[in-house]
Amino acid sequence: MKKIIFAFICVLGISSCTDKILDLDPLAESTSSTFFANEAELELALTGVYSGLYMTGGYGMPLQMIMDFGGSDLGLLRSGGVFGFDEIGAGTHSASTGGIADLYRGLYRGIGRANNLLLNMDKAEGVSQQRLDEIRGQTLALRAYNYTYLVNFFGDVPYIDFVPGSAEESLLERTPASTVIDNILADFQTAADLLPEKFSVPGRVTKAVAMALRARAALYAGRYDVAAASAKAVIDMEDAAGLILYPDYEELFTPAAEGNAEGMLIMPFQEGFRTTQSPTALGSRNRGSYTTFAPSQFLVDSYEAIDGLPIDESPMYDPHHPFDNRDPRLKATLVVPQATWSGIIFESHPDSLTFRNADGSSAGANADCRTVKWPAAFCGYLFKKYTDEPRQLERNGNSELDIMILRYAEVLLTYAEAKIELNQIDDSVLEAINRVRARGYGEVPYTDVTTRDQAELRKLIRRERKIELAGEGTRYFDIRRWGIAEKVMPQLVIGRILDTSTATLVPDIDEDGFITYDNSTGQWDVNTDARFPNAQNRQFNASRDYLLPIPQSEIDTYTGLGARLEQNPGY
C-alpha cells in the first residue's frame, strides 16, 4: 500500500514550481481544464494533499521531532537547516531565519493544494456522492491540520479558502487567530460528518481522525469544552474505528509495530521512494551516527519513580542508581548508560575512554561527553524512539519506519486534560489517564491514579504528556499554551550528571515540572560545573518568543506589491 501511495505522488508531480506568495498561486498546482475530470484524477489530487504531511528537515526527520528537540526542554537539536529550530531553541532566530520561511510556505502549500481540490472536484463526472463526500471530508481535515500548525506557530495568519487568480489576490491581511480557530474547528466537524469510521485502504483520514485532530486544535486553543467533547466522540467510537493502545510501549516505535491500530495518522516511508535517516540522526556515534537529537537531563528527570511520585518526592529514587525503579517509559524512550543498544554497551561517562560490544569485548575508543570530540555522546543519552535499531545494526543510514503524527494515546490524554481544566473530574477522566499509564508500565506493577484534586491532576497530566509523547511534536506547543516556556527554556541544556560524589543529584521539581538542581551553597554554577555536559545556553524572550516571526521574505513581497503584512511583536 505504501508503494501505491508513493507511486501516486510521483505520477501526480504537483510539487510547487515557484515560490509565489503563500505558495497559493494556482499556476504552481494542477489547474488544467482537463484535470479533475474523473475519480482517478481526484484521487491523484487527494494524494497530493496528503503529501503535505511530509514536513521533514535535516536527515529527512519529521517536523514534530525537530520541534520538540529544537524548541522545548526535552533536548538539543545540534544542526542547522531544520526549519530554523536550532536557532529557535537558542533564542537567536529572527524574521530572516530561512528555515522559518520554509515552514510557513510549506504549510501554505498544503493549504493551496487542498483549496485547489475543493474548488475543482465538482468537475469530475461519474463519481458517486458518497465518494465525493469522502474526498471532500479528507481534504477539509488536511487543510484544517495545516492551519492548526500555522495558527499555533504564528498567531494571526492570512486565512484563505479559495484559489486566487493572481498574486495580488493572495495579498490578504492577517486574520485574527480566534477566527482561524473557528474555521479550523468547523472544517474538522464537517469532515467528520462526511467521513466513514473506517476505509478499506489504510492511512486515510477517517471520522475518528478528524475528531481527534479537532480535539487537539481545541485543546491548544484553550477551548476545553470542545476538546473534551471531540475527544469523547473518538473514545466512544473506539471499537467501531478499531482503535487500540498497542500493548508494548517500547515496541510501538519500532518496525515490529508498523501498521498498528494506535497510529491514527501516519507519515509513511518506503525504501526507494522516501526514507528518513533516523539511524544516523538519532543513533550512537560509536555506530557511525551523529546523535543530532540529544536528550537532556531535564527529560530524564521528568520520569517518575515506580511508586508514581516525582523523583524529588519518592523514597524509591536513589541518585546513585538514577535509572533504577523508574517509569519503564524512561528506558523505552531513551538509551541510558550501560544499556545494550545497537550491538554495543552504551556508555558516556568521561572516564570511559573505550566502549564495549554487547558481549563485553572491547570495541574502540570513546570520548568525554562534555566535549564535541568524536565520538562523544554530547548530553550522555540517546533517543530510542524511531531510531530503527535493525538498520543501525546494519550500518544503514536510511529507515522506512513510518512516523505516527497522531496516535490514540494522545486522544485519551487530551480528553483527560480538557476535563481537568473544566474541573469536570469523574471516573472517565481517571480511566483515560490510567489506561495510558498502565500501558506504559507494562509488566511493572502499576498503581491507579485515584485523586480527584484538580491541582494534583493538572500536574500529573502535564508530566504525563511530557513523557508519553516525548519527541512527537506536542511539547513545543504545550509549554507555550501553558505559559511556562519563559521558565523552562532560558537555561543551559544539560546532559548526564557525571560526578555523583559532590552533587545533591535529587533535583527540585515545581508545580510546572520545572527542574532545578541544588545550589544552596553557591559554590558551583551549572554553566561551568564539570558535573554536567554543557550543551547549549538558551535564551527566551517572553515578550516575543511565544510566537514565531512572520518571514521577512513574505513581508517584503507584500511591500513590493504595494500591500502590508504586519509582523509579530518584537521582531
Cis amide leading into 202 (omega within 30): no
> Cell 550491538 appears where?
343
The enclosing H or E element of 180 equals helix 177-194
The C-alpha cell of 381 is what? 543519552
DSSP string covering 307-337 = TSS-TTT-TT--TTSTTSSB-THHHHHEEPT
Cα–Cα distances (Å) from 17 to 25, 26, 30, 108, 189, in that order, read 10, 11, 11, 14, 33
pLDDT bin (cut points 50, 70, 90) of residue 537 is confident
Reported as a single tens digit per residue, the pLDDT across 288-339 is 899 999 999 999 999 999 999 999 999 999 988 999 999 999 999 999 999 9
* Average pLDDT over every residue of 352-370: 88
Q: What pLDDT does 15 receive? A: 35
Distance CA 42, CA 35 (A): 9
Q: What is the mean pLDDT of the chain?
A: 90
- Strand locations in 202-353 (E): 263-267, 293-295, 334-335, 340-341, 344-345
Q: Is 374 left (phi over 0), alpha (psi -120 to 50) or beta?
A: beta
Q: Averaged over 114-131, what is the pLDDT?
A: 96
Find which of 384-398, 413-427, 527-541 is predicted with most confidence, using mean pLDDT: 413-427
pLDDT tens digit string along 221-251?
999 999 999 999 999 999 999 999 999 999 9
Distance CA(259)–CA(257), nearest Å, equals: 6
pLDDT over 70 at 201, yes or no = yes
Tell me the pLDDT tens digit for each residue of 245-290: 999 999 999 999 999 999 999 999 999 899 999 999 999 998 889 9
The values of phi and psi at residue 382, to 5°, are -120, 150
pLDDT score for 519: 57
Three-state secondary structure of 52-65: HHCCECHHHCEHHH
- Rounded CA-CA distance 567/173 in Å is 11
Three-class secondary structure of residue 357 per DSSP: strand
Between 265 and 369, the more confident residue is 265
Give residue 509's pLDDT.
94
Distance, in Å, from the CA atom of 321 to the CA atom of 300, rounded to the nearest integer, reads 13
| Residue 83 contacts residue 66 (beta carbons within 8 Å) | yes
pLDDT of residue 18: 33
Measured CA to CA in angstroms, residue 477 lies from 263, 265, 351, 481 at distances of 20, 19, 38, 6
Give the up-direction half-sphere exposure of residue 247: CA atoms within 13 A in the CB hemisphere: 1
Please tell me the distance from the alpha carbon of residue 65 to that of residue 77, in angstroms, as a whole number.
10
Worst-scoring range by mean pLDDT, 18-27, 286-295, 353-362, 472-481? 18-27
Asked if 61 and 281 count as a contact pair (C-beta separation under 8 A), the reply is yes
Judge residue 560's burial from the number of C-beta atoms within 10 Å of its C-beta, 0-12 exposed, 13-18 middle, 19 or more buried.
exposed
Q: What is the mean pLDDT of residues 187-204?
A: 94
pLDDT in tens, 1-28: 454 444 444 444 333 333 344 554 433 4
Q: What is the CA radius of gyration of the chain?
A: 24
**What are the CA-CA distances from residue 25 to residues 52, 146, 165, 202 (Å)?**
16, 17, 7, 31
Q: What are phi and psi of 340, to 5 degrees?
A: -85, 125
Cell of 245: 493502545
Using CA atoms, how far apart are residues 158 and 180, in angstroms rounded to an integer?
Answer: 9
- What are 541's three cell numbers? 524572550
Q: Which three cell numbers stand for residue 330?
A: 524512561
pLDDT, position 320: 86
CA distances in angstroms from 282 to 290, 393, 398, 403, 494, listed in the order given = 7, 13, 12, 14, 18
Q: Which 3 state secondary structure label does DSSP give 277?
A: coil
Question: Confidence band (pLDDT; 50, 70, 90) for 215?
Answer: very high
pLDDT band at 495 (very low <50, low <70, confident <90, very high): confident
C-alpha 441/C-alpha 459 separation (Å) is 19
Amino acid 28: pLDDT:
41
Question: Which of residues 20 and 422 earns the better pLDDT score?
Answer: 422
* Total residues belonging to the chain: 571
Residue 126 is given by DSSP the state: S
Beta bridge partners of 492: 537
Q: Which residues of 14-24 are buried (b: 16+ CB within 10 A; e: fewer)?
A: bebeeebbbbb
Indicate the pLDDT class of residue 139, thresholds 50, 70 and 90.
Answer: very high
Q: What is the pLDDT of residue 25?
A: 42
Model confidence at 415: pLDDT above 60: yes
Q: What is the pLDDT of residue 452?
A: 98
Rounded distance between C-alpha atoms, residue 568 and residue 186, angstroms: 26
Between CA 156 and CA 444 the distance in angstroms is: 46
Query: Which three three-digit cell numbers place residue 20?
Result: 509565489
Mean pLDDT over 480-489 rounds to 97
**Residue 377: predicted pLDDT:** 85
How does pLDDT run across 165-185, given as a tens digit for each residue?
A: 888 898 999 999 999 999 999
Residue 288 and residue 270 in contact, taking contact as beta carbons nearer than 8 Å: no
In the structure, what pLDDT confidence band is assigned to residue 200 with cuts at 50, 70 and 90? confident
The domain limits of the chain are 2-61+94-272
- Identify the CATH assignment for 2-61+94-272 out of 1.10.260.30, 1.10.20.10, 3.40.50.920, 1.25.40.390: 1.25.40.390
Which pLDDT value is given to residue 367?
86
Give the count of alpha carbons within 13 A of 486, CB side only: 10
From 282-286, 370-374, 423-427, the region with the lowest mean pLDDT: 370-374
> Tens digit of pLDDT for each residue in 19-78?
344 554 433 455 556 789 999 999 999 999 999 999 999 899 999 999 999 999 999 888
